[in-house]
């Protein structure tokens, strides 16, 4: 006992009070990892899985809503495109009709010019007619005088009359022809004016139709921008939920990996290795052996290590290596601090063999209890002279430590 205390005093790690370290770790851990507890538990996994499932359901729902909005936006976009086509077509019809109107208008003004020409020609013919008649009557009067005074023959008078009558007939024919032409032109003009009125009506109809199309397009454009905004809003919510779910899943992976470190990849499971002929199994699932029997440790730099150091995570179950009775469940402390074995258990198997399990985090049995090989008797920790979670495992034959490797499967 005195030797132990002496050793404790000289040991460079004597100020590393394990409880103080645990307190520091808990404080640091809670600052750096606010969402991850220091010790992962199945309830964390359950909580995170539930959270993730809720987020996934939310994502599905919002994705469906976004798809609905997208389908609506696509349909509206198609309708707006169709309306744009109809508007273009109507505009083409309006411009086509305007061209026709302008053509008809120039035909009307051309016809007006032609009517004017015919009118002038008519007036000229009428003037000719007047002149002819005047000449005719003057001549007739003169000739009648000549006839009465007997200077001209009556036959001459008759010839002259006949000539004048035929001239008069020609002029009347020309006038009738011109009047006919003029009438035809006026009929043509009336027809053109009627056509112009019809075209103007048609243009007004196209314009009214276009106003309706433009109104309808404005309405559909508003609906389309609503649908696009709705789609974007749902897509934003999906992205947000996905980002949150990524975080939850990352935490889930982290918690799961903490849980599976005890039996996950790289861990040698005690149960996989069976039982040795002597009746021992490995006392824990471990990742590696840090110090062999007889080796050196920071606490025993000169060698002479009394057991096997099996490394794994804190909280890894410790099994009874063989059937027996728990003979000690105790702690080595001095002034409130652990030293040497820290928390440890001794199991007596029979008169010859016993085993010792040190640096435990917690106990699962009490002294005097009967245990069977493979029963959980405690949990891995780092109490006492230890620099990290591991099991210090010893096998005693009568009253001496022996190399456990020679007795394990
Ligand atoms: Zn050890």
- The secondary structure of 352-409 as a DSSP string is SEEEEEES-SEES--TT-EE-TT-EEEE-B--SS-SSSEEEEEEEETTEEE-GGGT--
What structural domains does the chain harbor? 58-257 (1.10.287), 267-406 (2.70.70.10)
CA of 347 from ligand 1 middle (Å) equals: 17
Token code pair at residue 60 = 């599905």
Distance from C-alpha of 278 to C-alpha of 121, rounded to nearest angstrom: 147
CA of 392 from ligand 1 middle (Å) equals: 4
CA of 23 from ligand 1 middle (Å) equals: 24
CA of 409 from ligand 1 middle (Å) equals: 20
Token code pair at residue 265 = 């990849």
Structure confidence at residue 382 (pLDDT): 93
Structure confidence at residue 153 (pLDDT): 66
CA of 333 from ligand 1 middle (Å) equals: 17
In the DSSP assignment, the letter for residue 304 is: -
pLDDT in tens, the chain (409 residues): 333 334 344 444 444 444 443 433 333 333 333 333 345 566 776 788 889 889 999 999 999 999 999 999 999 999 999 999 999 999 999 999 999 999 999 999 999 999 999 899 889 888 888 887 787 777 767 766 666 666 566 666 677 777 777 878 888 888 899 899 889 999 999 999 999 999 999 999 999 999 999 999 999 999 999 999 999 999 999 999 999 999 988 887 776 666 555 556 678 899 999 999 999 999 999 988 989 999 988 888 888 999 999 999 888 999 999 999 999 999 999 988 999 999 999 999 999 999 999 999 999 999 999 999 999 999 999 999 998 999 999 999 999 999 999 999 9
CA of 336 from ligand 1 middle (Å) equals: 22
CA of 291 from ligand 1 middle (Å) equals: 7
Structure confidence at residue 90 (pLDDT): 93
CA of 214 from ligand 1 middle (Å) equals: 89
Taken as a whole, the chain contains a residue count of 409
Q: What is this structure's pTM?
A: 0.46
CA of 327 from ligand 1 middle (Å) equals: 20
CA of 341 from ligand 1 middle (Å) equals: 8
CA of 321 from ligand 1 middle (Å) equals: 17
CA of 22 from ligand 1 middle (Å) equals: 20
CA of 359 from ligand 1 middle (Å) equals: 9
- Cα distances from 240 to residues 60, 63, 247, 369, in angstroms, run 13, 12, 11, 55
Quick check: 392 and 355 in contact, CB under 8 A? no
Distance from C-alpha of 67 to C-alpha of 243, rounded to nearest angstrom: 19
Give the position of tokens 């059937």: 323
């Amino acid at each position: 006992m005195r030797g132990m205390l002496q050793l404790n005093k000289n040991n460079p790690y004597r100020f590393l009070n394990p409880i103080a370290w645990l307190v520091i770790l808990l404080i640091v851990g809670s600052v750096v990892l606010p969402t991850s507890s220091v010790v992962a538990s199945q309830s964390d996994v359950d909580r995170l899985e539930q959270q993730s499932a809720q987020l996934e359901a939310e994502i599905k729902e919002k994705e469906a809503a976004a798809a609905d909005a997208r389908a609506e936006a696509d349909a509206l976009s198609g309708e707006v495109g169709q309306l744009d086509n109809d508007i273009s077509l109507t505009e083409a019809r309006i411009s086509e009709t305007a061209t026709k109107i302008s053509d008809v208008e120039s035909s009307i003004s051309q016809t007006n010019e032609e009517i004017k020409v015919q009118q002038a020609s008519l007036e000229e013919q009428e003037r000719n007619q007047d002149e002819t008649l005047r000449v005719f009557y003057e001549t007739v009067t003169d000739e009648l005088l000549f006839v009465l005074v007997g200077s001209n023959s009556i036959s001459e008078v008759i010839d002259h009359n006949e000539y004048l009558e035929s001239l008069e007939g020609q002029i009347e024919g020309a006038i009738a022809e011109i009047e006919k032409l003029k009438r035809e032109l006026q009929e043509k003009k009336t027809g053109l004016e009627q056509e112009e009125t019809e075209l103007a009506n048609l243009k007004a109809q196209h314009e009214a139709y276009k106003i309706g199309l433009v109104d309808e397009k404005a309405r559909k454009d508003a609906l389309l921008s609503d649908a696009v905004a709705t789609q974007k809003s749902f897509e934003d919510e999906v992205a947000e939920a996905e980002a949150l779910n990524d975080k939850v899943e990352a935490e889930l992976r982290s918690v799961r990996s903490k849980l599976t470190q005890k039996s996950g990849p790289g861990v040698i499971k005690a149960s996989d290795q069976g039982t040795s002929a002597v009746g021992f199994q490995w006392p824990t699932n471990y990742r590696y052996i840090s110090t062999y029997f007889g080796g050196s440790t920071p606490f025993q730099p000169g060698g002479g290590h009394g057991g096997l150091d099996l490394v794994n995570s804190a909280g890894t179950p410790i099994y009874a290596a063989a059937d027996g009775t728990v003979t000690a469940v105790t702690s080595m402390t001095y002034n409130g601090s652990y030293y040497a074995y820290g928390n440890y258990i001794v199991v007596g198997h029979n008169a010859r063999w016993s085993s010792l399990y040190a640096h435990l985090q917690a106990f699962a049995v009490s002294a005097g209890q009967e245990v069977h090989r493979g029963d959980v008797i405690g949990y891995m920790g780092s109490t006492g002279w230890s620099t990290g979670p591991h099991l210090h495992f010893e096998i005693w034959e009568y009253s001496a430590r022996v190399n456990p490797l020679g007795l394990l499967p």
